[in-house]
Structure 1
């Protein structure tokens, strides 16, 4: 796949990358083991990231890796961003690995796990993943009157564009579940659907990370 095609593939909404299963409970899991060589790839990646070993990491990175939609690409640029304060890609890789692995379009391997799921008509920009199995939802922005408990699921931010303009620092964000329930959730337990994701593809008989981007 050319760099231009990878940019298109990375930019399209998650539902276009989806496996048939609908996105319901999105607990991190490894659904990649059935793919030949995937476990070995993941072990190398996990070891490299845990030890902050750039040389080992390079062995599973495509030389032309896509890093953003503004022209950032290639191993040299990725190496510079691993520790850079503006990117901290070591930390981002660590987070993505912990969120599981799934099989997606054209037999690609994707992390986090939920990037292989179907989010239907949910707005990619305003969708967040609840990070936890017992996350309380409150009736008010002050955290009063718990009305539900959420479990590793996708929710949509209410008034998303207003939130972007000035309310992102509020402790609790108003969200709506897929069944229409509205309430307020601790924003530190929400991860944007379009936050960092990793795509790996078969290259020369082994898996290589061809995309590691955030945004859409």
Structure 2
């Protein structure tokens, strides 16, 4: 009897440890047809790089940064929106691909924010020091390269701490980042495109008399 209880406790601990730091995308449920329709239209517009659609659906007081005054003209300047080299489309595509939270779980039915890595981030993990490994079976390597490097392990939707070997937090502009799992069980390099910061770019939408509008596109804190 005691042996069975001990085995049960060990199994429970094993499950808890294996689940530590896991953060999977939520099941997205959107009962508001106008919002789901707008998200579809927005996704198509981003794919076609439809500037007119974006400008028509910006809130007049859109927040572009935490240091600016906001507004559509500031938006155009901030993103260099008329230039072919603007990275606006890439940023928007990444946000939409990551996806948002369940709209139906929100108390405010007149606003929606995404990605879920911003809205649902677990409080116990410092947003400035941790990222999410977004993907299944993402390789962790012993060197920041795919050439002549060893795969130390793989991670799927795990929250990890970002640092270099000396403990300094790295910029998300690096192609490869040094990571350590939250249980300190695995350290190595992960390619940057698989790492998402909870305080990276996020998108805010509000419901107005004229339909849904983009009222926020910011990064940082």
TM-score between the two structures when normalised by the length of structure 2: 0.71
Q: 1:83 to 1:126 in 2, by over 3 A?
A: farther
The runs of 4+ residues in structure 1 deviating greater than 4 Å are: 83-87, 142-145
1:158-173 equivalent positions in 2, closer than 5 A = 158=163, 162-164=168-170, 169=174, 172-173=176-177
RMSD value over aligned CA atoms? Answer: 3.1
> What number of residue pairs does the alignment pair up?
191
What is the DSSP-based 3-state SS (H/G/I as helix, E as strand, rest coil) of the residue aligned with 1:195?
coil
What is the DSSP-based 3-state SS (H/G/I as helix, E as strand, rest coil) of the residue aligned with 1:137?
strand
Structure index of larger Rg: 2
Cross-structure match for 1:213:
218
Q: What displacement does 1:36 show?
A: 4.4
Moved more, 204-213 or 64-73: 204-213
Asked if 1 retains the 8 angstrom alpha-carbon contact of 2:21 and 2:182, the reply is: no
Per-residue deviation, residues 110-167 of structure 1 (Å, max 9, x unmatched): 22232231312211111212132110224x34675534311123211135972448x9
Question: Of residues 32, 40, 64 in structure 1, which corresponds to 2:61?
Answer: 64
Output the CA distance in 2 between the equivalents of 1:95 and 1:114.
12
Per-residue deviation, residues 20-42 of structure 1 (Å, max 9, x unmatched): xx983334x77152234211110
Cross-structure match for 1:101:
100
Per-residue deviation, residues 29-79 of structure 1 (Å, max 9, x unmatched): 771522342111102211221121122112332111101111152122223
Q: 1:34 to 1:115 in 2, by over 3 A?
A: farther
Moved more, 179-188 or 80-89: 80-89
Asked if 1 retains the 8 angstrom alpha-carbon contact of 2:21 and 2:160, the reply is: no
Question: Of residues 45, 50, 55 in structure 2, which corresponds to 1:48?
Answer: 45
Asked if 1 retains the 8 angstrom alpha-carbon contact of 2:114 and 2:203, the reply is: yes
TM-score between the two structures when normalised by the length of structure 1: 0.73
Cross-structure match for 2:159:
154
1:176 maps onto 2:180 in alignment: yes
Q: 1:173 to 1:55 in 2, by over 3 A?
A: closer
Q: What displacement does 1:180 show?
A: 3.4
Cross-structure match for 1:131:
134
**Taking CA–CA contacts closer than 8 Å with sequence separation of 6 or more, which of the two structures ends up with the larger relative contact order?**
1
What is the DSSP-based 3-state SS (H/G/I as helix, E as strand, rest coil) of the residue aligned with 1:65?
strand
Cross-structure match for 1:116:
119
Cross-structure match for 1:195:
200
